[in-house]
Chain A
């Protein structure tokens, strides 16, 4: 199960540090996804996405690959096997491009990691035949690409992701409200952010998404330095977003910091749980494949809970 994978990651996972040396975002995404597939083929759990829903009479122009040859042999009629995922998943990737995301202590920023993650997901979903949209934001919306599955769309998406961040603060309110207004059809919202904002507003913002019927997955991205606060020397710390300066002695401040960070994370997690939002905490030192696994697992869990709750209805 994915949990097992999470606890003991296979050695074949690509180190993010090595991955980030690849300049091209699309190439990076492809490396992750293909490696993932590569591993997936060897895994016994690869068939989950080919969920059969119904047959449809073949009409000219349909891909003959999807003809059910058995049925043709049996009934001499042409039927196309239809898979549910293929068509009606509309996924929007909401990527935080605020300035706090530019922080990185391992040679690459959280933003690069988040962008790679978004690209990976887009690539993966796109190759799975789903429509992928993109929304990058800081305190307001920067880029918006509606969810589509067209040749060339992925390329646009990659280009949009590669644009440098220019924003300052993390403020989810305006972007999320806006996306709710734009995206009328229900779909999947993947929020990739460090969520370094007060929890109260965050909960309200996520509630806007969920109340519109969207399925929400939150990837909270952290830098290892943010998680461990392993600074050695005392110095003047300054906030990338606000420019505020504080004299910090890490030895003294670490305990309090970790305590507050844990409290914040717990608050975020409980808020997500409360709203039925899948929350994943990612540290940029983790391989991206794991995030992908987490994504799929969240999707499956979600599917199961929803199926369990409303039997006979397909995945939203």
Chain B
């Protein structure tokens, strides 16, 4: 039996009190009236002789209460050998998580982190197992359990140290939540999950910045017995300011017009500097001598500022100066380039003839800064047709065409594109038959009263933008003429819209990966009012999107983002900012965005900028309470704290043992029970004495 607070045992000396009280025979409660005390002298408290101790049992109980209380306050515990405080030989399992995010580039942080990682490795004993993982956006193994176990125990330190020293902080953001949850699962993967008595510890070496992403921690079911030890590294300087490019301002501007780029400048709460400068650094032309823009951002606040003028015409870098840390002070901006989307019009229409469909098609796509749609009008016998078909995103046909031209168009549809056949006459049915491989497919002209669209499939992506009741009114579009086709012949067709007389108006037939969309009328004024209606342009855009099937090419990415590419016939190569070239063979994504800068894709000529995640600039320390609130099983003090002396460890161990056993509770309960017995006994003794005295009287 040992005691955590042995000084409290001195309280047991209070046992003397009841003994003295019992020895002093002084019944202070009884009072006797007397006529006059003039002949009486006060009797000094007389101590009875030992032989005259009264109520021995009461005395014993009272002493017992005091002794029990003193013992309870002394926090006793049994020195057990079974669960040793350092179960070194039982084989502890450690997963060391080393933060390699961009914020670790701050001065003094990385060296400290490496030292802590090496210390964690050194603190293991022979039976322990250790795995070391680096994490930023993702978890990367540095040393696995298998590698650790393969290494000889005496070489593990050197081996681990070599691996650790090879590490460098990256530019990526900190995804702390996913790193922690994955690390916890590593124990299970390593087969430790079943043995709950194994000491399992995650040692997190990080700067614990506020911008760490903690998603995944909320509600995460931590395996039992896993604890997380925080080893926070602190930078030499405090405070940081960060820069973020705000997207969305360019989209509205017209092509060729230079938009005002806007930036958000944030300053952390610890920051001691609030006078900052923004300056353009031209990457391409180093001669730009832009004047810096002074901005004032108080600590803990953020400001949105317009970029200093004049803005460089090409790709450029905006640099923030004046704060303590420089790792996050650059933002690369690429002048966005509009996507070129060619539409091939196949037919014999004359340019600028307002009675022909081509006239209206040309005017349906005004250029924007995002995309430039060019309509290429080709005659069916044009020799450049094959090359144009390769570039085209959509093919529009309105007339009957010779079979030779249609074969390549059919191939175009098979490759996943859409061919729109707007039947401006019944002869166009031949085109449809040829494209769909139908033998004799005919159409008959319907004239007379005009028709309107009666039944529209708003579920289809083509009509989805009109699904809202505000836009779903197509009844104002009058179709003077349309062609009746036999829908039953079109097996597998999806009729997207019907006229009010029940004839199909718009139908889609799948062909290969793409399809043919048949409009049984056309949009020139002779056939219908479609070209003049507000629905025309959005409908064609929907069609183009359906065919091109491509998200708009962005020009801004963050470190680690995947950059998608449209399929290309030519082999593409990505030129990274550090000069490396990464060939893209068959891939539609580029994932190696591991450094900030401007990436160029050749020979397509695309450029995109990759910047630091803005969260990384929020370098204020993350409150540990927040981790606790998210249920992370934090251990407040690391047992591996190298500075702790043997005495401190012994005390910690004692405290832990005491905390497990909690013997004091039983002692207090026992004291209460004894007190109750004492009360009962005292009551009985008093009653008996009273009865005796009454009997005497």
Chain A residues in the interface with B (C-beta under 8 A):
100-101, 103, 110, 194, 196, 223, 226, 231, 233-242, 244-249, 252-253, 256-257, 260-261, 264
Interface presence of B81 (CB below 8 A): no
User: Is residue B694 contacting chain A, with contact meaning CB distance below 8 A?
Assistant: no
Complex: how many Å from CA A238 to CA B34? 6
Further contacts, 12 of them, CB under 8 A, given A241-B36, A246-B43: A103-B33, A194-B35, A226-B35, A231-B32, A240-B35, A241-B35, A245-B31, A246-B37, A247-B26, A253-B40, A260-B38, A261-B39
Q: Do A103 and B35 contact each other (CB < 8 Å), given the known contacts A233-B27, A252-B46?
A: yes
Q: Are B31 and A235 in contact (CB under 8 A)?
A: yes
Check A264–B33 contact: CB distance below 8 A.
no
Query: B39 contacts which chain A residues (CB < 8 A)?
Result: 256-257, 260-261, 264
Q: Name 9 A/B residue pairs within 8 A (Cβ), A-sorted.
A: A194-B36, A233-B30, A240-B34, A241-B36, A244-B37, A247-B42, A248-B32, A253-B41, A261-B39
Beta-carbon contact of B43 and A248 below 8 Å? yes
Q: A76 to chain B: closest CB distance in Å?
A: 65
Q: A248-B40, A248-B43, A256-B41 are in contact. Are A238 and B28 (CB under 8 A)?
A: no
B391 interface hit (Cβ, 8 Å): no
Which of A196, A245, A246, A248 interacts with B35 by CB under 8 Å? A196
- Chain B residues with CB under 8 A of A238: 31-34, 37
Residues of B within 8 A of A241 (CB): 35-36
The verdict on A237 contacting B37 (CB below 8 Å), with A231-B32, A247-B26, A247-B28 known, is: yes
For the complex, is B152 an interface residue (Cβ under 8 Å from A)? no
How does the 8 Å CB contact mask read for B33-66 relative to A, with 1 for contact and 0 for none? 1111111111101100000000000000000000
Task: Tell me if B163 counts as interface (CB < 8 A to partner A).
Answer: no
Please give the distance in Å from A155's CB to the nearest CB on chain B: 31
Q: A233-B27, A236-B28 are in contact. Are A246 and B42 (CB under 8 A)?
A: yes
B25 within 8 A of A: yes
Q: Is the interface on chain B under 10, 10 to 19, 20 to 34, or 35 or more residues? A: 20 to 34
Interface centre among B30, B33, B34, B45 (most CB of A within 10 A): B34
Cα distance A63–B116 when bound, in Å? 135
Q: Tell me if A234 and B43 are in contact (CB < 8 A).
A: yes
For A223, the closest partner residue in chain B by CB is B35
* Closest residue of A by beta carbon distance from B36: A196
How far, in Å, is A310 (CB) from chain B's closest CB?
40
A237–B43 alpha-carbon span in the complex (Å): 11
A248 to B449 Cα, complex, angstroms: 132
| Contact of A235 with B30 in the complex, beta carbons under 8 Å | yes
Residues of chain A contacted by B25 (CB below 8 angstroms): 234
Instruction: Please indicate the chain A residues that have their CB under 8 angstroms from the CB of B46 in the complex.
Output: 249, 252
Which residue of A has the minimal Cβ distance to B696?
A232
Nearest chain-A residue to B39 (Cβ)? A260
In the bound complex, what is the Cα–Cα distance between A232 and B38 (angstroms)?
20
Q: What residues on B are CB-neighbors of A247 within 8 Å? A: 26, 28, 42-43, 45
Residues of B within 8 A of A236 (CB): 28-32
Q: Are A235 and B41 in contact (CB under 8 A)?
A: no
Chain B, residue nearest A263 (CB): B39
Which chain A positions have C-beta within 8 A of B29? Answer: 236
Closest to B34 in A: A237
A interface SS class: mixed
Residues in B neighbouring A261, C-beta threshold 8 A: 39
Q: Which of B26, B40, B45, B693 contacts A246 (CB 8 A)?
A: B40
How far is the CB of A268 from the nearest CB of chain B, in Å? 13
Hey, which bits of chain B sit against chain A, CB under 8 A? 25-43, 45-46, 693
| B37 to A: closest C-beta gap in Å | 4
Q: A240 and B33 in contact (CB under 8 A), knowing A196-B38, A233-B27, A234-B26?
A: yes
Inter-chain contacts of A240 with B (CB < 8 A): 33-36
CB distance from A108 to the nearest CB of B (A): 14
- Which 5 A-B residue pairings sit nearest by Cβ, starting from the closest? A103-B35, A235-B30, A260-B39, A100-B35, A249-B43
Cα-based distance from A236 to B34 in the complex (angstroms): 10
Q: For the complex formed, measure the closest distance between the CB of A265 and the CB atoms of chain B, giving whole angstroms.
A: 10
CB–CB B27/A235 < 8 A: yes
- Chain A residues within 8 Å of B28, by CB: 236, 247
Check if B35 sits within 8 Å of A257, measured CB to CB: no
Cβ contact within 8 Å between A110 and B26: no
Report the Cα distance A37→B45, complex, angstroms: 54
Report the bound CA distance from A223 to B46 in whole Å. 28
| Residue of A whose beta carbon sits closest to that of B45 | A247
Kindly list chain A residues whose C-beta atoms are within 8 Å of the C-beta of B38: 196, 260
The minimal Cβ–Cβ distance linking A302 to chain B, given in whole angstroms, is 30
Contacting residues, chain A, for B41 (C-beta < 8 A): 246, 253, 256
In the bound complex, what is the Cα–Cα distance between A248 and B46 (angstroms)? 11
Docked Cα-Cα span, A239 to B34, in Å, equals 5
CB distance from A281 to the nearest CB of B (A): 15
User: Which residues from A are CB-within-8-Å of B37?
Assistant: 237-239, 242, 244, 246
Residues from chain B with Cβ under 8 Å of A110 in the complex: 35
Cβ of A257 to closest chain B Cβ, rounded Å = 5
Q: Which residues of B contact A248 (CB under 8 A)?
A: 32, 40, 42-43
Contacts of A231 in B (CB 8 A): 32
Is there contact, CB below 8 Å, between A100 and B32? no
Instruction: For B42, list chain A residues within 8 Å (CB).
Output: 246-248
**A256 partner residues in chain B, CB cutoff 8 A:** 39-41
CA of A194 to CA of B38, assembled, Å: 13
Chain B residues near A260 (CB-CB < 8 A): 38-39
**Measured CA separation A92–B617 after assembly (Å):** 113
A126 shortest CB reach to chain B, Å = 30
Query: Which residues of B are found within 8 Å of A249, using beta-carbon distances?
Result: 43, 46
A260 to B40, CA, bound (A): 8
Expressed in whole angstroms, the minimum distance between the Cβ of B91 and any Cβ of chain A is 72
In the complex, chain B residues whose CB is within 8 Å of the CB of A264: 39
Chain A residues, CB < 8 A from B693: 233
Residues B43 and A257 in contact, CB atoms below 8 Å apart: no
**What B residues does A245 contact at CB under 8 A?**
31
Residues of A within 8 A of B40 (CB): 237, 246, 248, 253, 256-257
Given A234-B25, A234-B26, A247-B26, A239:B43 Cβ within 8 A: no
A residues less than 8 Å from B34 (CB atoms): 103, 237-240
Closest to A231 in B: B32
- The docked-state distance in angstroms from the alpha carbon of A253 to that of B31 is 16
Query: Please, how many angstroms separate the alpha-carbon atoms of A15 and B31 in the complex?
Result: 30
CA distance A209 to B49 in the complex (A): 55
Nearest B residue to A251 by beta-carbon distance?
B43
Query: What's the Cα separation between A260 and B31 when bound, in Å?
Result: 23
Verify B36–A100 contact, CB threshold 8 A.
yes
How far apart sit A253 and B46, CA to CA, in the bound complex (Å)? 12
Q: Among the interface residues B28, B37, B41, B693, which one has the most CB atoms of the partner chain A within 10 A?
A: B37
Q: CB distance B36 to A237 under 8 Å?
A: no
A194 to B29, CA, bound (A): 29
A234 shortest CB reach to chain B, Å: 7
Q: Which of A103, A240, A247, A253 has the most CB of B within 10 A?
A: A247
Bound Cα distance from A10 to B387, whole angstroms: 162
- Determine the residue in chain A with the shortest Cβ distance to B43: A249
CA distance A62 to B583 in the complex (A): 166
With CB as the reference atom, state the residue of chain A lying closest to B28. Answer: A236
B32–A252 touching, CB < 8 Å: no
Distance (whole angstroms) from the CB of B41 to the closest CB of chain A: 6
Residue from B26, B30, B43 in contact with A252 in the complex, judged by beta carbons closer than 8 Å: B43
In the assembled complex, the CB of B21 is this many whole angstroms from the nearest CB of chain A, namely 15
Residues of chain A within 8 A (CB-CB) of B26 are 234, 247
Residues in B neighbouring A196, C-beta threshold 8 A: 35-36, 38
Query: In the assembled complex, how far is the CB of residue B387 from the closest CB belonging to chain A, in whole angstroms?
Result: 125
Q: Out of A234, A242, A253, which one reaches B27, CB within 8 Å? A: A234
Within the assembled complex, what's the spacing in Å between the Cα atoms of A231 and B26?
15
Return chain B residues, CB-CB under 8 Å to A103.
33-35
Measured between C-beta atoms, what is the minimum distance from B346 to chain A in Å? 125
Kindly provide the distance from the CB of B379 to the nearest chain A CB, expressed in whole angstroms: 132
Tell me, rounded to whole Å, the shortest Cβ–Cβ distance linking A194 to chain B: 7
